[in-house]
Amino acid sequence: MKTEKEKMLAGEFYLAFGEELLGERLTARRLCREFNSIPEERVEERRDVLGKLLGTSDSTTYIESSFKCDYGYNIHVGANFYANFDLIILDVCKVTIGKNCMIGPRVSIYTAGHPLDADTRISGLEFGSPITIGDNVWIGGNVVINPGVNIGNNVVIASGAVVTKDVPDNVVVAGVPARVMRTL
């Protein structure tokens, strides 16, 4: 029988408030709080905390405060990753972000989802779907990326967009829901 964590990582219905997952979320919240409290000029200290929190990062990873996530270990960022203020990543499933990506302020990346059926939702069951963001992507401020979305390489996502479907390479997307505005 699978644990709730194994179900979560597989994108199946799971219960989030068991001892294991609750403990891991509390650890991530403690590390986020620690990271957000370190002054910006103490770059190495901030990188050390990110190294403990994120699944993959390196010396070129830079995230402005405040940063919040569910678990951290499901977040994998490539080289030259930059995120502006108030990034939220709900990482119940894997979030993979390529190299040379820039994220504007107040961006939300959600792998977490809840059932549409009210009785199932009320039972406490939830699920997740992984998100992949390619290389050389620029995500504008206040963008929301929904569960299960794959974003191609060399993409620009305009401020305020809500991305609900996959985005091909080399395009600009905008709107609610986001749609291709032009090819690059």
Between CA 112 and CA 50 the distance in angstroms is 21
Which residue ranges make up each domain of the chain?
4-183
Q: What is the pTM of this model?
A: 0.96
Active site residue 114: yes
- Residues 150-168: what's their mean pLDDT? 98
pLDDT at residue 24, rounded to an integer = 97
Q: What is the pLDDT of residues 129-145, one digit of tens each?
A: 999 999 999 999 999 99
CB 177 within 8 A of CB 165: yes
CB 95 within 8 A of CB 131: yes
Long-range own/partner contacts, residues 6-10 (CB < 8 A, 24 or more apart)? 8/92, 8/93, 8/127, 8/128, 9/74, 9/93, 9/94
Catalytic annotation, pick one of 33, 114, 121, 182: 114
Helices and strands (DSSP H and E) totals, the chain: 4, 19
CATH topology of domain 4-183: UDP N-Acetylglucosamine Acyltransferase; domain 1 (2.160.10)
Average pLDDT over all residues of the chain: 97
